[in-house]
Amino acid sequence: MSLTLRTISREQHLAYIQSLPAASHMQVPAWADVKAEWRSESLGWFDKSGQLVGAGLVLYRQLPKIKRYLAYLPEGPVINWYAPNLDDWLRPMLAHLKQQGAFSVKMGPPVIIRRWDSAAIKSGIQDPEVKRLRDVEATHIEPRAFEVADRLRKMGWQQGEDGGAGFGDVQPRYVFQVPLANRSLEDVHKGFNQLWRRNIKKAEKAGVEVVQGSYAELDEWQRLYEITAERDHFRPRPLGYFQRMWTALNNEDPNRMRLYFARHEGENVAAATMLIVGGHVWYSYGASANHKREVRPSNAMQWRMLRDAYAMGATVYDLRGISDSLDETDHLFGLIQFKVGTGGQAAEYLGEWDFPLNKLLHKALDIYMSRR
Protein backbone atom coordinates (compact mmCIF):
# COMPACT_ATOMS: atom_id res chain seq x y z
CA MET A 1 0.00 0.00 0.00
CA SER A 2 1.67 3.23 -1.06
CA LEU A 3 0.82 6.20 1.13
CA THR A 4 1.33 9.91 0.59
CA LEU A 5 1.40 12.48 3.33
CA ARG A 6 0.58 16.18 3.16
CA THR A 7 -0.74 19.08 5.19
CA ILE A 8 -4.54 19.05 5.38
CA SER A 9 -7.09 21.68 6.37
CA ARG A 10 -8.67 21.67 9.83
CA GLU A 11 -12.01 20.85 8.18
CA GLN A 12 -10.55 17.72 6.54
CA HIS A 13 -8.87 16.77 9.80
CA LEU A 14 -12.07 17.19 11.84
CA ALA A 15 -14.18 15.30 9.28
CA TYR A 16 -11.71 12.40 9.50
CA ILE A 17 -11.81 12.34 13.34
CA GLN A 18 -15.64 12.44 13.22
CA SER A 19 -15.66 9.39 10.93
CA LEU A 20 -13.94 7.27 13.61
CA PRO A 21 -15.45 5.55 16.66
CA ALA A 22 -13.07 7.59 18.87
CA ALA A 23 -9.71 9.38 19.01
CA SER A 24 -7.70 11.20 21.67
CA HIS A 25 -8.91 14.69 22.59
CA MET A 26 -5.31 15.79 21.94
CA GLN A 27 -5.62 14.83 18.29
CA VAL A 28 -8.63 16.99 17.40
CA PRO A 29 -7.76 20.15 15.41
CA ALA A 30 -9.07 22.43 18.20
CA TRP A 31 -6.41 21.10 20.59
CA ALA A 32 -3.98 23.31 18.64
CA ASP A 33 -5.91 26.37 19.92
CA VAL A 34 -5.72 25.07 23.48
CA LYS A 35 -1.92 24.79 23.14
CA ALA A 36 -1.63 28.32 21.72
CA GLU A 37 2.08 28.64 22.61
CA TRP A 38 2.95 25.92 20.08
CA ARG A 39 2.82 26.25 16.29
CA SER A 40 0.58 23.56 14.84
CA GLU A 41 -0.17 21.62 11.68
CA SER A 42 -2.70 18.97 10.60
CA LEU A 43 -1.20 16.08 8.64
CA GLY A 44 -3.11 13.66 6.45
CA TRP A 45 -2.19 10.24 5.04
CA PHE A 46 -3.75 9.34 1.68
CA ASP A 47 -3.95 5.94 -0.02
CA LYS A 48 -3.52 5.29 -3.76
CA SER A 49 -7.12 6.20 -4.51
CA GLY A 50 -6.70 9.58 -2.79
CA GLN A 51 -8.76 8.57 0.25
CA LEU A 52 -7.77 10.12 3.61
CA VAL A 53 -6.80 7.13 5.80
CA GLY A 54 -4.99 8.76 8.74
CA ALA A 55 -4.47 12.13 10.43
CA GLY A 56 -2.19 13.70 12.98
CA LEU A 57 -2.05 16.94 14.94
CA VAL A 58 1.56 18.14 15.21
CA LEU A 59 2.57 20.76 17.76
CA TYR A 60 5.89 22.54 17.15
CA ARG A 61 7.79 24.02 20.07
CA GLN A 62 10.74 26.24 19.10
CA LEU A 63 14.11 25.72 20.77
CA PRO A 64 15.32 28.81 22.64
CA LYS A 65 17.31 31.11 20.30
CA ILE A 66 17.32 28.92 17.16
CA LYS A 67 14.77 28.23 14.44
CA ARG A 68 14.56 24.50 15.10
CA TYR A 69 11.60 22.72 16.59
CA LEU A 70 10.51 19.80 18.69
CA ALA A 71 7.59 18.22 16.80
CA TYR A 72 5.09 16.61 19.15
CA LEU A 73 2.07 14.43 18.34
CA PRO A 74 0.34 13.91 21.71
CA GLU A 75 -1.49 10.57 21.82
CA GLY A 76 -1.12 10.38 18.06
CA PRO A 77 -0.95 10.22 15.13
CA VAL A 78 -4.31 8.61 14.38
CA ILE A 79 -3.22 5.91 11.93
CA ASN A 80 -3.45 2.14 11.59
CA TRP A 81 -0.81 1.24 14.18
CA TYR A 82 -1.15 -2.48 13.54
CA ALA A 83 -0.39 -2.13 9.82
CA PRO A 84 2.43 -4.55 8.88
CA ASN A 85 3.97 -1.72 6.82
CA LEU A 86 4.20 0.76 9.72
CA ASP A 87 7.40 2.14 8.09
CA ASP A 88 5.36 3.36 5.13
CA TRP A 89 3.22 5.42 7.50
CA LEU A 90 5.97 6.90 9.65
CA ARG A 91 8.82 7.46 7.16
CA PRO A 92 7.01 10.15 5.13
CA MET A 93 5.99 11.81 8.41
CA LEU A 94 9.62 12.04 9.58
CA ALA A 95 10.72 13.41 6.20
CA HIS A 96 7.97 16.05 6.29
CA LEU A 97 8.72 17.11 9.88
CA LYS A 98 12.42 17.40 9.08
CA GLN A 99 11.54 19.74 6.20
CA GLN A 100 9.51 21.80 8.65
CA GLY A 101 12.63 22.37 10.77
CA ALA A 102 12.08 19.67 13.41
CA PHE A 103 15.24 18.38 15.11
CA SER A 104 13.32 15.77 17.11
CA VAL A 105 9.91 14.10 16.95
CA LYS A 106 7.91 12.90 19.96
CA MET A 107 4.73 10.87 19.57
CA GLY A 108 2.43 8.80 21.75
CA PRO A 109 1.00 5.81 19.90
CA PRO A 110 -2.58 5.29 21.17
CA VAL A 111 -1.84 1.58 21.56
CA ILE A 112 -2.63 -0.34 24.77
CA ILE A 113 -0.25 -3.19 25.73
CA ARG A 114 -1.77 -4.57 28.93
CA ARG A 115 -4.89 -4.32 31.02
CA TRP A 116 -5.48 -5.25 34.66
CA ASP A 117 -8.98 -5.67 36.04
CA SER A 118 -9.90 -4.40 39.50
CA ALA A 119 -9.59 -7.84 41.13
CA ALA A 120 -6.00 -8.22 39.87
CA ILE A 121 -5.07 -4.73 41.13
CA LYS A 122 -6.68 -5.38 44.53
CA SER A 123 -4.73 -8.60 44.99
CA GLY A 124 -1.58 -6.66 44.04
CA ILE A 125 -2.33 -4.00 46.66
CA GLN A 126 -2.85 -6.70 49.31
CA ASP A 127 0.43 -8.47 48.49
CA PRO A 128 3.28 -6.85 50.49
CA GLU A 129 5.82 -8.12 47.93
CA VAL A 130 4.17 -6.18 45.11
CA LYS A 131 5.22 -2.56 44.74
CA ARG A 132 4.24 -1.77 41.13
CA LEU A 133 1.42 -2.52 38.76
CA ARG A 134 3.84 -4.17 36.34
CA ASP A 135 4.65 -6.77 39.05
CA VAL A 136 1.03 -7.96 38.84
CA GLU A 137 0.09 -10.46 36.16
CA ALA A 138 -1.97 -8.66 33.52
CA THR A 139 -5.57 -9.75 32.91
CA HIS A 140 -5.23 -9.06 29.20
CA ILE A 141 -2.16 -8.70 26.99
CA GLU A 142 -2.22 -7.35 23.42
CA PRO A 143 0.50 -9.26 21.50
CA ARG A 144 0.21 -6.92 18.50
CA ALA A 145 1.32 -4.01 20.71
CA PHE A 146 4.68 -5.71 21.29
CA GLU A 147 5.08 -6.05 17.51
CA VAL A 148 4.44 -2.30 17.16
CA ALA A 149 7.15 -1.60 19.76
CA ASP A 150 9.59 -3.88 17.89
CA ARG A 151 8.88 -2.15 14.58
CA LEU A 152 9.43 1.28 16.13
CA ARG A 153 12.77 0.22 17.65
CA LYS A 154 13.93 -1.21 14.32
CA MET A 155 13.11 2.11 12.64
CA GLY A 156 15.26 3.99 15.17
CA TRP A 157 12.56 5.29 17.51
CA GLN A 158 13.55 5.44 21.17
CA GLN A 159 11.19 4.81 24.04
CA GLY A 160 10.75 7.96 26.14
CA GLU A 161 12.06 7.89 29.67
CA ASP A 162 8.89 8.61 31.60
CA GLY A 163 10.06 6.35 34.41
CA GLY A 164 6.61 4.76 34.47
CA ALA A 165 5.31 7.51 36.75
CA GLY A 166 3.42 8.94 33.84
CA PHE A 167 3.10 12.51 35.06
CA GLY A 168 4.55 15.85 34.03
CA ASP A 169 4.43 17.24 30.52
CA VAL A 170 4.36 13.82 28.93
CA GLN A 171 1.06 11.97 28.66
CA PRO A 172 0.29 9.29 31.26
CA ARG A 173 1.57 5.82 30.45
CA TYR A 174 -0.97 4.23 32.81
CA VAL A 175 -4.63 5.19 32.80
CA PHE A 176 -7.79 3.92 34.45
CA GLN A 177 -10.87 3.17 32.34
CA VAL A 178 -14.40 1.94 32.95
CA PRO A 179 -15.61 -0.03 29.89
CA LEU A 180 -19.25 0.75 29.03
CA ALA A 181 -19.80 -1.10 25.75
CA ASN A 182 -22.35 -3.94 25.94
CA ARG A 183 -23.02 -3.35 29.63
CA SER A 184 -26.15 -2.19 31.42
CA LEU A 185 -25.92 0.78 33.78
CA GLU A 186 -26.96 -1.58 36.57
CA ASP A 187 -23.98 -3.78 35.72
CA VAL A 188 -21.65 -0.76 35.87
CA HIS A 189 -23.05 0.19 39.29
CA LYS A 190 -22.65 -3.41 40.51
CA GLY A 191 -19.01 -3.23 39.45
CA PHE A 192 -18.31 -0.49 42.01
CA ASN A 193 -16.80 -1.68 45.26
CA GLN A 194 -18.80 -1.49 48.51
CA LEU A 195 -17.16 1.73 49.61
CA TRP A 196 -18.08 3.49 46.36
CA ARG A 197 -21.68 2.27 46.49
CA ARG A 198 -21.93 3.32 50.13
CA ASN A 199 -20.48 6.77 49.36
CA ILE A 200 -22.86 7.33 46.44
CA LYS A 201 -25.76 6.50 48.77
CA LYS A 202 -24.32 8.74 51.50
CA ALA A 203 -24.13 11.70 49.09
CA GLU A 204 -27.72 11.08 47.96
CA LYS A 205 -28.97 10.95 51.56
CA ALA A 206 -27.09 14.15 52.42
CA GLY A 207 -28.77 15.90 49.50
CA VAL A 208 -25.72 16.40 47.28
CA GLU A 209 -26.83 17.48 43.81
CA VAL A 210 -24.69 17.36 40.71
CA VAL A 211 -25.22 20.01 38.02
CA GLN A 212 -23.61 20.97 34.74
CA GLY A 213 -21.80 24.30 34.70
CA SER A 214 -21.29 26.89 31.96
CA TYR A 215 -18.41 29.03 30.68
CA ALA A 216 -19.49 31.78 33.10
CA GLU A 217 -18.82 29.43 36.03
CA LEU A 218 -15.21 28.63 35.11
CA ASP A 219 -14.02 31.15 37.72
CA GLU A 220 -15.90 29.13 40.35
CA TRP A 221 -14.21 25.98 38.96
CA GLN A 222 -10.85 27.79 39.27
CA ARG A 223 -11.49 28.65 42.93
CA LEU A 224 -12.01 24.97 43.83
CA TYR A 225 -9.14 23.86 41.59
CA GLU A 226 -6.68 26.25 43.30
CA ILE A 227 -7.77 24.98 46.73
CA THR A 228 -7.01 21.45 45.47
CA ALA A 229 -3.63 22.49 44.04
CA GLU A 230 -2.57 23.97 47.36
CA ARG A 231 -3.71 20.88 49.26
CA ASP A 232 -2.09 18.39 46.86
CA HIS A 233 1.05 20.45 46.17
CA PHE A 234 0.87 20.90 42.41
CA ARG A 235 1.09 23.99 40.24
CA PRO A 236 -2.38 24.91 38.98
CA ARG A 237 -3.03 25.97 35.40
CA PRO A 238 -4.36 29.55 35.12
CA LEU A 239 -8.05 30.32 34.56
CA GLY A 240 -7.19 31.52 31.04
CA TYR A 241 -6.14 27.98 30.10
CA PHE A 242 -9.56 26.54 30.96
CA GLN A 243 -11.37 29.43 29.27
CA ARG A 244 -9.33 28.86 26.13
CA MET A 245 -9.94 25.12 26.34
CA TRP A 246 -13.71 25.63 26.68
CA THR A 247 -13.91 28.14 23.81
CA ALA A 248 -11.65 26.21 21.43
CA LEU A 249 -13.10 22.75 22.02
CA ASN A 250 -16.78 23.75 22.15
CA ASN A 251 -16.48 25.94 19.05
CA GLU A 252 -15.33 22.82 17.23
CA ASP A 253 -18.09 20.65 18.70
CA PRO A 254 -20.64 22.04 21.20
CA ASN A 255 -20.43 18.83 23.22
CA ARG A 256 -16.62 18.50 23.36
CA MET A 257 -16.10 19.84 26.90
CA ARG A 258 -18.38 19.91 29.93
CA LEU A 259 -18.11 21.24 33.45
CA TYR A 260 -19.75 19.61 36.48
CA PHE A 261 -20.30 20.80 40.06
CA ALA A 262 -21.33 18.80 43.12
CA ARG A 263 -23.37 21.04 45.42
CA HIS A 264 -24.35 20.66 49.02
CA GLU A 265 -26.79 23.09 50.66
CA GLY A 266 -26.28 25.49 47.77
CA GLU A 267 -22.48 25.45 48.02
CA ASN A 268 -20.15 24.02 45.34
CA VAL A 269 -17.90 21.50 47.08
CA ALA A 270 -16.44 19.58 44.12
CA ALA A 271 -16.01 20.15 40.39
CA ALA A 272 -14.72 18.34 37.31
CA THR A 273 -14.18 18.84 33.61
CA MET A 274 -15.19 16.24 31.04
CA LEU A 275 -14.02 15.79 27.44
CA ILE A 276 -15.85 13.90 24.70
CA VAL A 277 -14.58 12.60 21.33
CA GLY A 278 -16.87 10.05 19.71
CA GLY A 279 -17.40 7.12 22.07
CA HIS A 280 -14.48 8.05 24.34
CA VAL A 281 -15.27 10.20 27.38
CA TRP A 282 -12.59 11.52 29.74
CA TYR A 283 -12.78 12.84 33.26
CA SER A 284 -9.99 15.33 32.73
CA TYR A 285 -9.52 17.67 35.72
CA GLY A 286 -11.00 17.37 39.21
CA ALA A 287 -11.24 19.71 42.18
CA SER A 288 -12.77 19.72 45.65
CA ALA A 289 -13.09 21.92 48.71
CA ASN A 290 -11.29 21.12 51.96
CA HIS A 291 -14.55 20.76 53.90
CA LYS A 292 -17.75 18.69 53.54
CA ARG A 293 -15.77 15.67 52.37
CA GLU A 294 -17.98 13.52 54.58
CA VAL A 295 -20.93 14.07 52.19
CA ARG A 296 -18.86 12.37 49.42
CA PRO A 297 -19.36 14.91 46.62
CA SER A 298 -16.64 13.41 44.40
CA ASN A 299 -18.28 9.97 44.31
CA ALA A 300 -21.66 11.53 43.50
CA MET A 301 -20.12 13.60 40.72
CA GLN A 302 -18.28 10.65 39.14
CA TRP A 303 -21.45 8.56 39.17
CA ARG A 304 -23.40 11.36 37.45
CA MET A 305 -20.62 11.83 34.83
CA LEU A 306 -20.50 8.10 34.21
CA ARG A 307 -24.28 7.97 33.75
CA ASP A 308 -24.13 10.91 31.34
CA ALA A 309 -21.32 9.25 29.38
CA TYR A 310 -23.42 6.09 29.22
CA ALA A 311 -26.48 8.04 28.03
CA MET A 312 -24.36 9.54 25.23
CA GLY A 313 -23.54 6.02 24.04
CA ALA A 314 -19.91 6.14 25.18
CA THR A 315 -17.94 2.89 24.98
CA VAL A 316 -15.40 3.92 27.61
CA TYR A 317 -15.29 6.31 30.57
CA ASP A 318 -11.66 7.25 31.06
CA LEU A 319 -10.43 8.48 34.44
CA ARG A 320 -7.04 9.34 32.90
CA GLY A 321 -3.68 9.00 34.59
CA ILE A 322 -2.63 6.84 37.49
CA SER A 323 0.84 6.09 38.80
CA ASP A 324 1.93 2.46 38.55
CA SER A 325 2.80 2.41 42.25
CA LEU A 326 0.82 0.01 44.45
CA ASP A 327 2.79 1.03 47.53
CA GLU A 328 0.46 2.49 50.17
CA THR A 329 3.18 4.90 51.35
CA ASP A 330 3.46 6.47 47.86
CA HIS A 331 1.80 9.92 47.67
CA LEU A 332 0.09 8.93 44.38
CA PHE A 333 -1.38 5.73 45.79
CA GLY A 334 -4.66 7.39 46.82
CA LEU A 335 -5.36 8.12 43.16
CA ILE A 336 -5.33 4.48 42.05
CA GLN A 337 -7.22 3.50 45.21
CA PHE A 338 -10.02 5.97 44.41
CA LYS A 339 -10.23 4.95 40.74
CA VAL A 340 -10.04 1.19 41.33
CA GLY A 341 -13.26 1.48 43.34
CA THR A 342 -15.16 2.05 40.08
CA GLY A 343 -14.53 -1.58 39.11
CA GLY A 344 -12.81 -0.56 35.87
CA GLN A 345 -9.42 -1.53 34.46
CA ALA A 346 -5.94 -0.11 34.53
CA ALA A 347 -4.44 0.10 31.05
CA GLU A 348 -0.81 0.55 30.02
CA TYR A 349 -0.07 2.40 26.80
CA LEU A 350 3.07 1.96 24.70
CA GLY A 351 4.27 5.27 26.15
CA GLU A 352 5.91 8.13 24.28
CA TRP A 353 8.58 7.60 21.64
CA ASP A 354 11.27 9.94 20.31
CA PHE A 355 13.01 10.11 16.98
CA PRO A 356 16.11 12.34 17.00
CA LEU A 357 16.37 13.90 13.53
CA ASN A 358 19.40 15.83 14.75
CA LYS A 359 21.19 13.85 17.45
CA LEU A 360 23.18 16.80 18.77
CA LEU A 361 20.17 19.08 19.24
CA HIS A 362 18.12 16.19 20.62
CA LYS A 363 20.77 15.61 23.27
CA ALA A 364 20.93 19.34 24.05
CA LEU A 365 17.15 19.33 24.60
CA ASP A 366 17.44 16.31 26.93
CA ILE A 367 20.02 18.14 29.03
CA TYR A 368 17.92 21.33 29.01
CA MET A 369 14.78 19.42 30.11
CA SER A 370 16.57 17.51 32.86
CA ARG A 371 17.79 20.79 34.42
CA ARG A 372 14.32 22.34 34.58
Q: What is the pLDDT of residue 166?
A: 36
pLDDT tens across the length of the chain (372 residues):
689 999 999 999 999 999 999 999 999 999 999 999 999 999 999 999 999 999 999 999 988 888 899 999 999 999 999 999 999 999 999 999 999 999 999 999 999 999 999 999 999 999 999 999 999 999 999 999 999 999 999 999 999 865 433 333 568 899 999 999 999 999 999 999 999 999 999 999 999 999 999 999 999 999 999 999 999 899 999 999 999 999 999 999 999 999 999 999 999 999 999 999 999 999 999 999 999 989 999 999 999 999 999 999 999 999 999 999 999 888 888 889 999 999 999 999 999 999 999 888 878 777 766 665
pLDDT at residue 163 in the model: 42
Q: Tell me, what's the pLDDT at 167?
A: 34
Please give the Cα distance from 350 to 367 (Å, whole number): 24
pTM value surpassing 0.85: yes
Structure confidence at residue 370 (pLDDT) = 67
